[in-house]
Chains A and B, each alone.
Chain A
Amino acid sequence: MELEDVYKHYMNDLYRYLYSLSKNHHVAEDLVQEAFYRAYLTLADYEINNIKAWLFKVAYHAFIDHQRKNKKTIVTDEIKENVDMRENTPESKMLEKESFLLLMEDLKCLKEIEEQAVLLCDLNELSYQEAAEILNIKLNTLKSHISRGRKKLVERVKERMNLDERRA
Protein backbone atom coordinates (compact mmCIF):
# COMPACT_ATOMS: atom_id res chain seq x y z
CA MET A 1 0.00 0.00 0.00
CA GLU A 2 1.12 3.50 -0.77
CA LEU A 3 1.58 5.84 2.16
CA GLU A 4 -1.25 7.96 0.80
CA ASP A 5 -3.63 4.99 0.86
CA VAL A 6 -2.58 4.11 4.38
CA TYR A 7 -3.31 7.63 5.45
CA LYS A 8 -6.68 7.65 3.72
CA HIS A 9 -7.57 4.38 5.38
CA TYR A 10 -7.29 5.93 8.82
CA MET A 11 -8.45 9.42 7.94
CA ASN A 12 -12.06 9.05 8.93
CA ASP A 13 -11.12 7.35 12.19
CA LEU A 14 -8.92 10.31 12.99
CA TYR A 15 -11.60 12.72 11.89
CA ARG A 16 -14.20 11.15 14.18
CA TYR A 17 -11.71 11.00 17.02
CA LEU A 18 -10.97 14.70 16.64
CA TYR A 19 -14.65 15.45 16.08
CA SER A 20 -15.60 13.82 19.34
CA LEU A 21 -12.85 15.74 21.10
CA SER A 22 -13.56 19.12 19.59
CA LYS A 23 -17.31 18.78 19.08
CA ASN A 24 -16.98 20.93 16.02
CA HIS A 25 -16.83 19.85 12.41
CA HIS A 26 -14.63 22.71 11.16
CA VAL A 27 -12.16 22.43 13.98
CA ALA A 28 -12.01 18.68 13.47
CA GLU A 29 -11.35 19.12 9.77
CA ASP A 30 -8.61 21.67 10.41
CA LEU A 31 -7.08 19.38 12.97
CA VAL A 32 -7.12 16.44 10.59
CA GLN A 33 -5.36 18.64 8.07
CA GLU A 34 -2.82 19.71 10.68
CA ALA A 35 -2.28 16.12 11.80
CA PHE A 36 -1.58 14.90 8.27
CA TYR A 37 0.72 17.83 7.63
CA ARG A 38 2.69 16.85 10.71
CA ALA A 39 2.59 13.23 9.65
CA TYR A 40 4.12 14.14 6.30
CA LEU A 41 6.72 16.34 7.99
CA THR A 42 8.00 13.61 10.27
CA LEU A 43 7.49 10.47 8.26
CA ALA A 44 10.21 11.48 5.85
CA ASP A 45 12.61 11.17 8.76
CA TYR A 46 12.08 7.67 10.03
CA GLU A 47 10.13 4.49 9.59
CA ILE A 48 7.17 3.97 11.85
CA ASN A 49 6.13 0.45 12.76
CA ASN A 50 2.70 0.99 14.14
CA ILE A 51 1.27 3.57 11.83
CA LYS A 52 -2.20 3.61 13.32
CA ALA A 53 -1.09 4.29 16.87
CA TRP A 54 1.39 6.82 15.61
CA LEU A 55 -1.27 8.70 13.62
CA PHE A 56 -3.47 8.87 16.67
CA LYS A 57 -0.57 10.20 18.65
CA VAL A 58 0.01 12.92 16.06
CA ALA A 59 -3.69 13.76 16.06
CA TYR A 60 -3.77 13.83 19.85
CA HIS A 61 -0.89 16.30 19.91
CA ALA A 62 -2.50 18.43 17.23
CA PHE A 63 -5.61 18.58 19.38
CA ILE A 64 -3.66 19.39 22.56
CA ASP A 65 -1.81 22.20 20.77
CA HIS A 66 -5.05 23.53 19.40
CA GLN A 67 -6.62 23.43 22.83
CA ARG A 68 -3.67 25.24 24.38
CA LYS A 69 -3.70 27.92 21.71
CA ASN A 70 -7.43 28.53 21.98
CA LYS A 71 -7.72 28.36 25.72
CA LYS A 72 -8.98 31.88 25.86
CA THR A 73 -11.34 31.80 22.92
CA ILE A 74 -13.12 28.57 23.68
CA VAL A 75 -15.21 28.51 26.76
CA THR A 76 -15.88 24.82 26.61
CA ASP A 77 -19.02 24.75 28.68
CA GLU A 78 -20.68 27.31 26.52
CA ILE A 79 -20.02 25.38 23.36
CA LYS A 80 -21.07 22.14 24.92
CA GLU A 81 -24.31 23.76 25.90
CA ASN A 82 -24.74 24.99 22.37
CA VAL A 83 -24.32 21.50 21.07
CA ASP A 84 -26.73 20.23 23.69
CA MET A 85 -29.27 22.77 22.70
CA ARG A 86 -29.06 21.81 19.11
CA GLU A 87 -29.18 18.12 19.69
CA ASN A 88 -31.81 18.18 22.35
CA THR A 89 -34.46 19.72 20.16
CA PRO A 90 -37.67 17.70 20.38
CA GLU A 91 -37.28 16.34 16.87
CA SER A 92 -33.88 14.86 17.49
CA LYS A 93 -35.01 13.40 20.75
CA MET A 94 -37.88 11.70 19.10
CA LEU A 95 -35.85 10.30 16.28
CA GLU A 96 -33.69 7.25 16.66
CA LYS A 97 -30.35 8.85 17.44
CA GLU A 98 -27.46 8.14 15.17
CA SER A 99 -25.27 5.99 17.33
CA PHE A 100 -21.99 7.91 16.95
CA LEU A 101 -23.61 11.19 17.93
CA LEU A 102 -25.19 9.36 20.82
CA LEU A 103 -21.77 8.21 21.95
CA MET A 104 -20.47 11.74 21.60
CA GLU A 105 -23.22 13.01 23.78
CA ASP A 106 -22.67 10.29 26.34
CA LEU A 107 -18.97 11.08 26.42
CA LYS A 108 -19.72 14.57 27.62
CA CYS A 109 -20.31 13.31 31.14
CA LEU A 110 -16.82 11.85 31.23
CA LYS A 111 -13.65 13.54 32.32
CA GLU A 112 -11.48 14.44 29.38
CA ILE A 113 -8.85 11.82 30.14
CA GLU A 114 -11.51 9.13 30.51
CA GLU A 115 -13.03 10.24 27.23
CA GLN A 116 -9.63 9.98 25.58
CA ALA A 117 -9.08 6.50 26.97
CA VAL A 118 -12.47 5.24 25.83
CA LEU A 119 -12.12 6.79 22.39
CA LEU A 120 -8.69 5.34 21.80
CA CYS A 121 -9.15 1.88 23.28
CA ASP A 122 -12.77 1.00 22.78
CA LEU A 123 -13.83 2.90 19.69
CA ASN A 124 -10.56 2.82 17.78
CA GLU A 125 -9.33 -0.49 19.14
CA LEU A 126 -5.88 0.53 20.17
CA SER A 127 -4.21 -1.59 22.82
CA TYR A 128 -3.92 -0.28 26.38
CA GLN A 129 -0.20 -0.02 25.93
CA GLU A 130 -0.53 2.07 22.78
CA ALA A 131 -3.13 4.34 24.32
CA ALA A 132 -1.01 4.85 27.41
CA GLU A 133 1.90 5.86 25.20
CA ILE A 134 -0.21 8.27 23.19
CA LEU A 135 -1.59 9.96 26.28
CA ASN A 136 1.79 9.75 27.94
CA ILE A 137 0.45 8.19 31.14
CA LYS A 138 1.19 4.96 33.02
CA LEU A 139 -0.52 1.78 31.92
CA ASN A 140 -2.25 1.34 35.27
CA THR A 141 -3.47 4.92 35.27
CA LEU A 142 -4.93 4.36 31.84
CA LYS A 143 -6.66 1.18 32.97
CA SER A 144 -8.33 2.91 35.89
CA HIS A 145 -9.41 5.80 33.68
CA ILE A 146 -10.93 3.44 31.16
CA SER A 147 -12.85 1.38 33.71
CA ARG A 148 -14.21 4.54 35.29
CA GLY A 149 -15.19 5.82 31.85
CA ARG A 150 -16.92 2.57 30.97
CA LYS A 151 -18.84 2.56 34.22
CA LYS A 152 -20.14 6.05 33.60
CA LEU A 153 -21.12 5.19 30.04
CA VAL A 154 -22.98 2.07 31.18
CA GLU A 155 -24.87 4.18 33.68
CA ARG A 156 -25.93 6.49 30.87
CA VAL A 157 -27.02 3.59 28.70
CA LYS A 158 -29.02 2.07 31.55
CA GLU A 159 -30.70 5.38 32.28
CA ARG A 160 -31.71 5.70 28.68
CA MET A 161 -33.06 2.16 28.60
CA ASN A 162 -35.14 2.82 31.70
CA LEU A 163 -36.42 6.01 30.12
CA ASP A 164 -37.37 4.18 26.93
CA GLU A 165 -39.09 1.41 28.87
CA ARG A 166 -41.09 3.88 30.85
CA ARG A 167 -42.04 5.70 27.69
CA ALA A 168 -43.01 2.44 26.04
Chain B
Amino acid sequence: MSDEHKQDQNKDESLYKAYMMKTKNDIHTSPSLSEEEQREIIRVGSNTARNATVMISLAILLLMLPIMTLITYLYYGIGGKANTMIDVVGKAIYVTEPNVSLEEMEIESEIGLFSMNVTFDTFKRIGSEDYLAEKVDVYFGLEKPKFPDKISFLEQLPPMGYGIDVVKDSQKMYHPDAMISFNTIEAEDVLNNLPDGTVAEAYLSFSELMKPNEIEKALPKEMEVRWLAVDTGLEAKQLDKEGVPITPIGYPAQVDTTTWSPFDGDQTNEEVFLDILKLLEKNEQTAEIVSQIKSLEIQDRRKYVEDKGILIYGAVVTGPVPELRKLEQVKEVRAINVGEVKLWNWK
Protein backbone atom coordinates (compact mmCIF):
# COMPACT_ATOMS: atom_id res chain seq x y z
CA MET B 1 0.00 0.00 0.00
CA SER B 2 2.65 2.49 1.06
CA ASP B 3 4.82 1.43 -1.86
CA GLU B 4 2.00 1.94 -4.22
CA HIS B 5 1.31 5.25 -2.60
CA LYS B 6 4.90 6.27 -3.03
CA GLN B 7 4.88 5.27 -6.63
CA ASP B 8 1.77 7.29 -7.18
CA GLN B 9 3.40 10.22 -5.54
CA ASN B 10 6.50 9.94 -7.67
CA LYS B 11 4.39 9.69 -10.76
CA ASP B 12 2.42 12.74 -9.79
CA GLU B 13 5.57 14.63 -9.07
CA SER B 14 7.11 13.92 -12.42
CA LEU B 15 3.84 14.70 -14.11
CA TYR B 16 3.74 18.05 -12.36
CA LYS B 17 7.36 18.73 -13.21
CA ALA B 18 6.80 18.01 -16.84
CA TYR B 19 3.73 20.18 -16.84
CA MET B 20 5.57 23.12 -15.32
CA MET B 21 8.58 22.54 -17.52
CA LYS B 22 6.44 22.69 -20.61
CA THR B 23 4.84 25.92 -19.50
CA LYS B 24 8.23 27.45 -18.79
CA ASN B 25 9.70 26.31 -22.06
CA ASP B 26 6.79 27.69 -23.99
CA ILE B 27 6.86 30.96 -22.09
CA HIS B 28 8.10 32.94 -25.07
CA THR B 29 4.88 32.18 -26.92
CA SER B 30 2.69 33.22 -24.03
CA PRO B 31 1.24 36.71 -23.67
CA SER B 32 3.95 39.30 -23.19
CA LEU B 33 4.67 42.97 -23.46
CA SER B 34 6.42 44.23 -26.56
CA GLU B 35 9.81 45.93 -26.39
CA GLU B 36 8.04 49.21 -27.15
CA GLU B 37 5.55 48.74 -24.34
CA GLN B 38 8.31 47.83 -21.93
CA ARG B 39 10.26 50.95 -22.75
CA GLU B 40 7.14 53.03 -22.29
CA ILE B 41 6.37 51.46 -18.94
CA ILE B 42 9.89 52.11 -17.71
CA ARG B 43 9.83 55.68 -18.99
CA VAL B 44 6.48 56.60 -17.52
CA GLY B 45 7.27 54.79 -14.29
CA SER B 46 10.55 56.55 -13.72
CA ASN B 47 9.28 59.95 -14.84
CA THR B 48 6.21 59.82 -12.67
CA ALA B 49 8.24 58.55 -9.76
CA ARG B 50 10.69 61.42 -10.18
CA ASN B 51 7.87 63.94 -10.42
CA ALA B 52 6.21 62.51 -7.36
CA THR B 53 9.46 62.52 -5.39
CA VAL B 54 10.23 66.12 -6.32
CA MET B 55 6.71 67.36 -5.67
CA ILE B 56 6.28 65.53 -2.39
CA SER B 57 9.67 66.70 -1.13
CA LEU B 58 8.74 70.23 -2.09
CA ALA B 59 5.41 69.92 -0.35
CA ILE B 60 7.02 68.66 2.85
CA LEU B 61 9.59 71.43 2.70
CA LEU B 62 6.94 74.08 2.22
CA LEU B 63 4.74 72.64 4.94
CA MET B 64 7.48 72.89 7.52
CA LEU B 65 7.34 76.62 8.20
CA PRO B 66 3.53 76.86 8.37
CA ILE B 67 3.32 73.83 10.63
CA MET B 68 6.03 75.09 12.96
CA THR B 69 4.32 78.47 13.06
CA LEU B 70 1.03 76.79 13.85
CA ILE B 71 2.59 74.69 16.60
CA THR B 72 4.07 77.85 18.12
CA TYR B 73 0.71 79.62 18.06
CA LEU B 74 -1.03 76.57 19.50
CA TYR B 75 1.61 76.38 22.22
CA TYR B 76 1.12 80.00 23.23
CA GLY B 77 -2.59 80.12 22.58
CA ILE B 78 -3.85 76.98 24.29
CA GLY B 79 -4.52 77.52 27.98
CA GLY B 80 -3.76 81.22 27.57
CA LYS B 81 -0.05 80.62 28.15
CA ALA B 82 1.06 83.77 26.34
CA ASN B 83 -1.54 85.87 28.13
CA THR B 84 -0.34 84.62 31.52
CA MET B 85 3.24 85.40 30.58
CA ILE B 86 2.33 88.91 29.47
CA ASP B 87 0.33 89.35 32.67
CA VAL B 88 3.28 88.24 34.81
CA VAL B 89 5.63 90.61 33.00
CA GLY B 90 3.37 93.62 33.52
CA LYS B 91 2.54 92.88 37.14
CA ALA B 92 6.14 92.09 38.07
CA ILE B 93 7.02 95.60 36.96
CA TYR B 94 4.35 97.17 39.16
CA VAL B 95 5.46 95.49 42.38
CA THR B 96 9.24 95.49 41.90
CA GLU B 97 9.93 98.87 40.36
CA PRO B 98 9.06 101.89 42.52
CA ASN B 99 6.90 104.52 40.87
CA VAL B 100 6.83 102.74 37.54
CA SER B 101 3.67 102.05 35.63
CA LEU B 102 2.83 100.80 32.19
CA GLU B 103 0.05 100.99 29.68
CA GLU B 104 -1.54 97.56 29.57
CA MET B 105 -3.19 98.48 26.31
CA GLU B 106 0.14 99.14 24.68
CA ILE B 107 1.86 95.86 25.49
CA GLU B 108 2.81 94.34 22.17
CA SER B 109 3.52 90.69 21.62
CA GLU B 110 5.12 89.27 18.54
CA ILE B 111 5.26 85.53 18.03
CA GLY B 112 8.11 84.03 16.03
CA LEU B 113 9.12 80.41 15.66
CA PHE B 114 8.90 78.83 19.11
CA SER B 115 9.47 82.25 20.63
CA MET B 116 7.68 85.41 21.62
CA ASN B 117 8.79 88.98 22.12
CA VAL B 118 6.86 91.12 24.55
CA THR B 119 7.55 94.83 24.16
CA PHE B 120 6.18 97.71 26.16
CA ASP B 121 7.03 101.15 27.55
CA THR B 122 7.23 102.00 31.23
CA PHE B 123 6.48 105.39 32.72
CA LYS B 124 7.36 107.34 35.83
CA ARG B 125 5.14 110.01 37.31
CA ILE B 126 7.24 113.09 38.07
CA GLY B 127 5.24 116.04 39.25
CA SER B 128 1.91 115.82 37.49
CA GLU B 129 3.04 114.14 34.33
CA ASP B 130 4.06 110.67 33.24
CA TYR B 131 7.45 110.47 31.61
CA LEU B 132 8.70 107.63 29.44
CA ALA B 133 11.09 105.65 31.62
CA GLU B 134 12.14 102.61 29.61
CA LYS B 135 11.44 100.73 26.44
CA VAL B 136 11.49 97.06 27.37
CA ASP B 137 11.74 94.03 25.12
CA VAL B 138 11.45 90.60 26.74
CA TYR B 139 12.28 87.55 24.65
CA PHE B 140 10.68 84.24 25.54
CA GLY B 141 12.05 81.00 24.07
CA LEU B 142 8.87 78.95 24.45
CA GLU B 143 8.13 80.02 28.02
CA LYS B 144 11.70 80.68 29.17
CA PRO B 145 12.43 84.39 29.32
CA LYS B 146 15.76 86.03 28.65
CA PHE B 147 16.90 89.10 30.49
CA PRO B 148 15.01 91.99 28.93
CA ASP B 149 16.58 94.48 26.59
CA LYS B 150 15.92 97.87 28.07
CA ILE B 151 16.45 101.31 26.67
CA SER B 152 16.34 103.78 29.52
CA PHE B 153 15.20 107.37 29.20
CA LEU B 154 15.98 108.18 32.79
CA GLU B 155 18.78 110.29 34.13
CA GLN B 156 19.47 107.94 37.00
CA LEU B 157 20.37 104.56 35.65
CA PRO B 158 19.72 101.44 37.64
CA PRO B 159 22.70 99.88 39.41
CA MET B 160 24.86 97.62 37.32
CA GLY B 161 25.43 94.13 38.60
CA TYR B 162 24.10 91.86 41.29
CA GLY B 163 26.87 92.02 43.89
CA ILE B 164 25.80 92.33 47.53
CA ASP B 165 27.33 95.78 47.90
CA VAL B 166 26.01 97.04 44.59
CA VAL B 167 22.45 96.06 45.39
CA LYS B 168 22.61 97.11 49.03
CA ASP B 169 24.21 100.48 48.45
CA SER B 170 22.03 101.43 45.54
CA GLN B 171 18.87 101.18 47.62
CA LYS B 172 16.97 104.40 48.05
CA MET B 173 14.59 103.28 50.77
CA TYR B 174 15.63 101.64 54.03
CA HIS B 175 13.83 99.69 56.69
CA PRO B 176 13.85 101.40 60.14
CA ASP B 177 16.16 98.65 61.41
CA ALA B 178 18.56 98.84 58.45
CA MET B 179 21.55 101.09 58.24
CA ILE B 180 21.24 103.79 55.62
CA SER B 181 24.17 103.48 53.29
CA PHE B 182 24.04 106.88 51.66
CA ASN B 183 24.95 110.16 53.31
CA THR B 184 21.62 111.66 54.40
CA ILE B 185 23.04 115.20 54.70
CA GLU B 186 24.34 115.10 51.15
CA ALA B 187 21.06 113.72 49.93
CA GLU B 188 19.21 116.62 51.57
CA ASP B 189 21.69 119.03 49.99
CA VAL B 190 20.61 117.79 46.58
CA LEU B 191 17.04 118.72 47.39
CA ASN B 192 18.02 122.07 48.89
CA ASN B 193 20.03 123.07 45.85
CA LEU B 194 17.38 122.21 43.28
CA PRO B 195 15.69 125.32 41.81
CA ASP B 196 12.21 126.07 43.09
CA GLY B 197 10.64 125.81 39.64
CA THR B 198 11.18 122.08 39.38
CA VAL B 199 9.33 118.94 40.30
CA ALA B 200 10.97 115.76 41.52
CA GLU B 201 10.35 112.29 42.83
CA ALA B 202 11.68 111.53 46.28
CA TYR B 203 12.32 108.17 47.99
CA LEU B 204 11.45 108.32 51.65
CA SER B 205 12.61 106.00 54.39
CA PHE B 206 10.39 106.10 57.48
CA SER B 207 11.63 105.99 61.06
CA GLU B 208 9.06 103.36 61.93
CA LEU B 209 6.74 100.96 60.13
CA MET B 210 3.42 102.57 59.22
CA LYS B 211 0.01 101.47 58.06
CA PRO B 212 -0.77 102.51 54.47
CA ASN B 213 -3.55 104.91 55.47
CA GLU B 214 -1.36 106.76 58.00
CA ILE B 215 1.14 107.87 55.43
CA GLU B 216 -0.74 110.54 53.58
CA LYS B 217 -1.74 112.15 56.88
CA ALA B 218 1.85 112.38 58.01
CA LEU B 219 3.12 114.05 54.84
CA PRO B 220 2.68 117.61 53.52
CA LYS B 221 -0.41 118.13 51.34
CA GLU B 222 1.01 119.38 48.04
CA MET B 223 2.50 116.12 46.87
CA GLU B 224 1.40 112.76 45.61
CA VAL B 225 2.34 109.45 47.19
CA ARG B 226 3.18 107.12 44.30
CA TRP B 227 4.49 103.83 45.61
CA LEU B 228 4.70 102.10 48.97
CA ALA B 229 7.53 99.74 49.95
CA VAL B 230 6.18 96.89 52.05
CA ASP B 231 7.96 95.24 54.95
CA THR B 232 8.23 91.56 54.09
CA GLY B 233 10.52 90.47 56.89
CA LEU B 234 13.72 90.55 54.88
CA GLU B 235 14.19 94.31 54.57
CA ALA B 236 15.90 94.79 57.94
CA LYS B 237 18.79 92.58 56.85
CA GLN B 238 18.33 93.22 53.14
CA LEU B 239 19.32 89.63 52.44
CA ASP B 240 17.38 86.47 51.79
CA LYS B 241 18.01 83.15 53.55
CA GLU B 242 20.95 82.38 51.31
CA GLY B 243 22.52 85.77 51.71
CA VAL B 244 21.50 87.08 48.32
CA PRO B 245 20.57 90.77 48.47
CA ILE B 246 16.92 91.57 47.99
CA THR B 247 15.22 94.63 46.62
CA PRO B 248 12.02 96.28 47.80
CA ILE B 249 8.63 95.10 46.72
CA GLY B 250 5.57 97.22 47.07
CA TYR B 251 2.61 98.60 45.21
CA PRO B 252 1.25 101.83 43.73
CA ALA B 253 -0.41 104.07 46.27
CA GLN B 254 -2.92 105.57 43.86
CA VAL B 255 -5.79 104.02 41.99
CA ASP B 256 -4.98 103.93 38.29
CA THR B 257 -8.04 104.50 36.19
CA THR B 258 -6.44 103.84 32.82
CA THR B 259 -7.85 100.84 31.02
CA TRP B 260 -6.75 97.42 32.18
CA SER B 261 -4.50 98.53 34.97
CA PRO B 262 -4.59 95.91 37.72
CA PHE B 263 -4.91 98.75 40.25
CA ASP B 264 -8.10 100.08 38.75
CA GLY B 265 -9.97 100.44 42.03
CA ASP B 266 -12.21 97.37 41.72
CA GLN B 267 -10.36 96.03 44.73
CA THR B 268 -8.21 98.02 47.09
CA ASN B 269 -4.61 98.30 45.98
CA GLU B 270 -3.57 96.21 48.98
CA GLU B 271 -5.74 93.31 47.85
CA VAL B 272 -4.47 93.57 44.30
CA PHE B 273 -0.91 93.58 45.66
CA LEU B 274 -1.47 90.30 47.48
CA ASP B 275 -3.09 88.77 44.39
CA ILE B 276 -0.11 89.78 42.30
CA LEU B 277 2.26 88.19 44.81
CA LYS B 278 0.31 84.95 44.45
CA LEU B 279 0.57 85.14 40.67
CA LEU B 280 4.29 85.87 40.78
CA GLU B 281 4.82 83.03 43.23
CA LYS B 282 3.59 80.64 40.55
CA ASN B 283 5.81 82.28 37.94
CA GLU B 284 8.71 83.31 40.12
CA GLN B 285 11.46 82.60 37.61
CA THR B 286 9.82 84.69 34.93
CA ALA B 287 9.22 87.49 37.40
CA GLU B 288 12.83 87.45 38.60
CA ILE B 289 14.27 87.55 35.12
CA VAL B 290 11.89 90.22 33.87
CA SER B 291 12.49 92.51 36.82
CA GLN B 292 16.22 91.65 36.75
CA ILE B 293 16.21 90.77 40.40
CA LYS B 294 18.35 87.95 41.64
CA SER B 295 16.12 86.87 44.46
CA LEU B 296 12.44 87.59 44.94
CA GLU B 297 11.68 85.00 47.65
CA ILE B 298 8.05 85.61 46.88
CA GLN B 299 6.62 82.72 48.87
CA ASP B 300 8.20 83.64 52.19
CA ARG B 301 7.54 87.32 51.70
CA ARG B 302 3.91 86.78 50.76
CA LYS B 303 3.35 84.60 53.85
CA TYR B 304 4.99 87.23 56.06
CA VAL B 305 2.80 89.97 54.64
CA GLU B 306 -0.34 87.89 55.03
CA ASP B 307 0.56 87.14 58.66
CA LYS B 308 1.61 90.59 59.78
CA GLY B 309 -0.51 92.70 57.48
CA ILE B 310 0.78 95.31 55.10
CA LEU B 311 3.23 97.61 56.89
CA ILE B 312 5.11 100.30 55.03
CA TYR B 313 8.72 101.24 55.62
CA GLY B 314 9.31 103.53 52.65
CA ALA B 315 7.49 105.45 49.94
CA VAL B 316 8.03 107.28 46.70
CA VAL B 317 6.41 110.69 46.50
CA THR B 318 6.44 113.29 43.81
CA GLY B 319 5.67 116.98 43.86
CA PRO B 320 7.17 120.48 43.59
CA VAL B 321 10.66 120.73 45.04
CA PRO B 322 9.79 123.47 47.61
CA GLU B 323 7.04 121.19 48.96
CA LEU B 324 9.41 118.22 49.07
CA ARG B 325 11.83 120.24 51.17
CA LYS B 326 9.18 120.32 53.91
CA LEU B 327 9.72 116.56 54.29
CA GLU B 328 13.02 117.31 56.01
CA GLN B 329 10.99 118.57 58.99
CA VAL B 330 8.64 115.55 59.14
CA LYS B 331 9.67 113.38 62.06
CA GLU B 332 8.39 110.17 60.49
CA VAL B 333 10.84 110.55 57.58
CA ARG B 334 14.38 109.66 58.45
CA ALA B 335 15.95 109.93 55.01
CA ILE B 336 15.11 111.47 51.64
CA ASN B 337 16.69 110.45 48.36
CA VAL B 338 15.91 112.48 45.27
CA GLY B 339 15.19 110.57 42.09
CA GLU B 340 14.23 112.06 38.73
CA VAL B 341 13.85 115.83 38.40
CA LYS B 342 11.78 117.62 35.75
CA LEU B 343 10.80 121.20 34.95
CA TRP B 344 7.71 122.59 36.63
CA ASN B 345 4.51 120.83 35.60
CA TRP B 346 2.57 120.87 38.85
CA LYS B 347 -1.12 121.52 38.58
- Contact surface of A with B, Cβ cutoff 8 Å: 4, 7-8, 11-12, 15-16, 19, 25, 29, 32-33, 36-41, 44, 98-103, 122-123, 150-151, 153-154, 157-158
Contacts and interface: CB of A to CB of B under 8 A. Distances in A.
Given A37-B45, A37-B49, A40-B49, A153 B29 contact: no
Contact of A44 (B23, B27, B44, B53): B53
B110 interface: no
Given A15-B33, A33-B41, A99 B15 contact: no
A98 B31 CA distance: 10
Secondary structure of the B side of the interface?
helix
14 contacts: A8-B42, A11-B41, A11-B42, A16-B30, A32-B33, A33-B41, A33-B44, A40-B46, A40-B50, A44-B53, A99-B25, A100-B29, A100-B30, A153-B16
B37 interface: yes
Given A7-B42, A40-B49, A123 B24 contact: yes
Nearest to B40: A33
Contact of A98 (B30, B38, B48, B49): B30
Contacts of B50: 40
B59 to A, nearest CB: 15
Interface in B301-343: none
Interface in B44-64: 44-46, 48-50, 52-53
A99 B31 contact: no
A33 B39 CA distance: 11
B33 A154 contact: no
B260 interface: no
Contacts of A102: 23
Contacts of B44: 33, 37
B23 A100 contact: yes
Secondary structure of the A side of the interface?
helix
Contacts of A150: 16
Interface of B: 12, 15-16, 19-20, 22-27, 29-33, 37-38, 41-42, 44-46, 48-50, 52-53
A65 to B, nearest CB: 16
Contacts of A32: 33, 41
Contacts of B42: 4, 7-8, 11, 36
B32 A123 contact: no
Contacts of A37: 44-45, 48-49
Given A41-B52, A99-B29, A123-B20, 14 more contacts: A16-B27, A16-B30, A29-B33, A36-B41, A36-B42, A36-B46, A39-B45, A41-B53, A98-B26, A99-B30, A100-B27, A100-B29, A157-B15, A157-B16
Nearest to B32: A12
Contacts of B27: 16, 100
B55 to A, nearest CB: 12
Nearest to B19: A157
A21 to B, nearest CB: 13
A117 to B, nearest CB: 13
B322 to A, nearest CB: 85
Contact of A16 (B16, B31, B45): B31
Contacts of B38: 8, 11-12
A122 B33 contact: no
Contacts of A98: 26, 29-30
Contacts of A103: 19, 23
A25 B31 contact: yes
Contacts of A100: 23, 26-27, 29-31
A103 B20 CA distance: 8
A86 B31 CA distance: 16
A151 B49 CA distance: 42
Contacts of B25: 99
A19 B33 CA distance: 11
Interface core residue of B12, B16, B30, B49 (most chain A CB under 10 Å) = B30
A147 to B, nearest CB: 11
Nearest to A32: B41
Contact of A154 (B16, B23, B30, B53): B16
A11 B42 CA distance: 9
Contacts of B12: 151, 154
Contacts of A19: 31
Contacts of A157: 15-16, 19
